[in-house]
Amino acid sequence: MRKGFFSKIWQGVVVASMVFATAANAVVTIYLVGDSTMQDWASGYYPKQGMGQDFGYFFDSGLARVFNAGRGGTTSVSYYDGFWSVRGTDRNGKYVFDKAIRDMVQTGDYVMIMIGANDNGYKTGEENFKTKVTAMVKETQQKGAYPILISPIRRSNFTSVDSVYEGYHAYPIYMRELAGSLKVPFIDLDTLSRNYLLSLGQYYSNHYLNMFIDEGEYSTSGVQTDNQHLQQMGANAFGRIVTEQLRFHSDAKVKELSKALKPMYQVDVKVSPEGAATAATASGYYPEGMMVTLKTTPKAGYTFVGWYDGNANKVSGNARSEVKSPYIYTFKMGNKSTQYTAVYAGGSAQKYTGNGGAVTQFSVDVPRKLNGLPFQPEGYTSQPAEDEKVLGPIEFNSLFQAEDSVTMNEGFIEANHLGFTGTGFVNLANNNQSFASYDLDFPEAATTTLAIVYANGGKTDRLINVYLDHDYYVSCPPNGWDTWDTVYTEIMTPKGEGTLQIISMTSDGAPNIDMFGFEMKGVVYKGATRPDTNKVVPADTTVKDTTAKDTSGTDALTKNINLSGMENADVSIFNMQGQLIARRQMMIGSGLSNQELNQMVKSNGLYHVVIRKGLQMIRQTMVRK
C-alpha cells in the first residue's frame, strides 16, 4: 500500500483494509463471468465497454485484483461448456485464457456471475440455465471461493416514461430464485439498472449509457442505435452501482470485499446558463485513475462554448484520442473531488467550493426519480418494445464473393450447382465447427446488417455462427442446392481490421455460401485500398468485371473477354439482396444490354448480372430505369 495514499478521514478504512488483507492472507481475485455487457472490448470499438472493463479501478490493487472473464455472445450453457469448465479458444483456435476459469479460482477468491442477457434469444430454458449456473456456484464453493450472483443489466428499451421493457424475460427471475435456493449472495442489478434508467430518462439512457452514438462523436464509431451494449459512461456507472451494493450487503463475506474498495472522489457537473442543454453527464463519483467522460447535448438555439474545470479554466485536449465532438471531454480521475461546468453562450464557469475530500456517504439503493431529472428533450418519444429487430432486404454496399480470399479449416470451393455468382461457392465440410474465414478492414465501429447468400439442399435448417469478435447465430432454412436465398443478421464492426468467420454449428455442416455483403459502405479486404464512399456514380453506369477463373482456382485475367456469338450463355440476374430474379439461356454479345435487362425484370432498380459460358464469365451491375 502506498504511503500517504489516504487522507486522515480514511485512516479507519486503511485499518479495516489491512485486516481484510491479513484475513485473506493474499491479494484476492475477483473473477467476472458474463457476456458482451461484461467483457473487455478492443479499442477499435470505443466508446463501447463492458461493465468489467474498468471494474478493477474501483479496488486497491494491493488488496484485490479483477480478472474480467466476460465473453461476448455467451449464454449460461455456452459459457460453462466453452470457458468455465474447459480452457476456451477463440474462433481461430487460439486460447483465450491460461486455464479454464474454474481452474483459476483459488481459496478466498470471489466469482461474480452476471449472465442471462443472451439466454432468452437462444432459448436456453429454465432447466438448462439453472443447471449451468448452479454448477458454476457449487464448483466455486468447492474451491473455497465465494460466488455472487448478479442479474443482467436492463436494456434501455423504454415503453413509456416510467416503464422499461423486461427484454430478458424470466432469466433475471431465475437468477434471483437460484440465489435463494442455493443460499448465495445476490445483487439485483436488473431492478437497480431499471431504476437508474428511469431516473435519468430515455434520452440520457440511450445516448449517455448505451450505444446510441451520433455522427461525429468518435473517430472509431459511426451512428449507432444499440440499447443493449454499454458505452464507457454506462459501463462504469453500473459498475459503481455494484460496488455500492458490496458496501451494504447483508452477506458478511460480500461486505468484507467492500473493504478493498479505493476512495471515491466526486465530480459535480453544472450547466450554465441553466436550461441551455438537452442533457449533460450526471454528477457522480469515481476512483483515482478511472477514465471520466463529460458530455453535453445543446438545446436548439444555444451555442456551446466549452468545458471549464473547478478553477473556472477552459479545458482542452482529451485523454481519449478517439473523441471528435467538441461536446465531449475525457480525463483521468485524480485524487480530489472537483467540479466541471458545460458553458454555453451567455453563461459562465462556476468555481468549485468544496474541500476536495473523498466521498464518505454512499447510496444503498437507486431511486427511480432524481431531482432535476430525467432529461427528456421535446419530441423524443419512447421506442416500441421488441425482443429482436426484424431484418429485411438491404442494399449490398460492400459485397464479397465467398470463394475469394477465403481461409478454411475444412471445406472446398465448388461450382457443381446452378445459380451461383462469381466463380464458385464455399462448401464447408460436414462437421461441427468447420469454418470459412475472411480478413477484412472496416471504416468505423458501428452496427450494420450483414447478408449471406446461401443454398441449403438438406431437410432441416442449418445453423451457422457468424463470428466477428462476438457470436451471431443465424439459421438457414432448406431451399435446395440450386436455389439461392439470403439470411440477415445485425452485427457490430470494429474500426480497422477484423476477421469474419462463418462457422458450421451442426454435424451436417453449413449451407453452401455464394456471397456475403454489408449494408455499411467501405468494407474492404485487409490491406486493400478503401474506396471513396462519398463518390457519386451515375445511375446509368454499367460496371463490368472481366475476370475469368477456371475451376482449379487459377486466375486467367483478360482485358476483353469476347462472348460475341456465344449460344446458350447462362444469364442470371440477382437483386441487391442476393435473390435470383431471372435466369435465361440466350445468345449474348459482350454483355447484357439495357433493353435485354428491361425484358427480363419488371421492377426498376439496381441488379447484379452474371453471364457464364464454360470458363468465361462477365459480371455486371446494371440499373433498370
Q: What is the arithmetic mean of pLDDT over 135-142?
A: 98
The residue that leads in pLDDT, 474 or 443, is: 443
How large is the angle between the packed helices 232-248 and 189-204, nearest 10 degrees? 140
Q: What is the arithmetic mean of pLDDT over 459-479?
A: 85
The residue that leads in pLDDT, 337 or 487, is: 337
Report pLDDT for 564. 47
Exposure on the CB side of residue 611, measured as CA atoms within 13 A: 27
Q: What is the pLDDT of residues 379-425, one digit of tens each?
A: 555 554 444 444 556 567 888 999 999 999 889 999 999 888 888 99
Q: What is the pLDDT of residues 29-54, one digit of tens each?
A: 999 999 999 999 999 899 999 999 99
Residue 547 has pLDDT above 70, yes or no: no
Report pLDDT for 548. 31
How many whole angstroms separate alpha carbon 193 and alpha carbon 238?
7
Q: What is the arithmetic mean of pLDDT over 176-189?
A: 97
How many whole angstroms separate alpha carbon 544 and alpha carbon 184?
65
Residue 368 has pLDDT above 90, yes or no: no
How many whole angstroms separate alpha carbon 199 and alpha carbon 433?
45
Q: What is the pLDDT of residues 298-333, one digit of tens each?
A: 999 999 999 999 999 999 999 999 999 999 999 999
* 549 touches 558 (CB < 8 A): no
Report pLDDT for 91. 65
How many whole angstroms separate alpha carbon 150 and alpha carbon 113?
6
Report pLDDT for 344. 98
Mean pLDDT of the chain: 83
Give the residues across from 105 on adjacent strands: none
Closest CA to 81 of 127, 131, 120: 131
| Structural domains of the chain sorted by starting position, each given as residue range(s) with its CATH number in brackets | 24-259 (3.40.50.1110), 263-362 (no CATH), 398-521 (2.60.120.260), 559-624 (2.60.40.3080)
The H-or-E segment that residue 77 falls in is: helix 76-79
Report pLDDT for 165. 82
Omega of the bond prior to 47 within 30 degrees of 0, cis?
Answer: yes
Band (pLDDT 50/70/90 cuts) for residue 443 is: very high
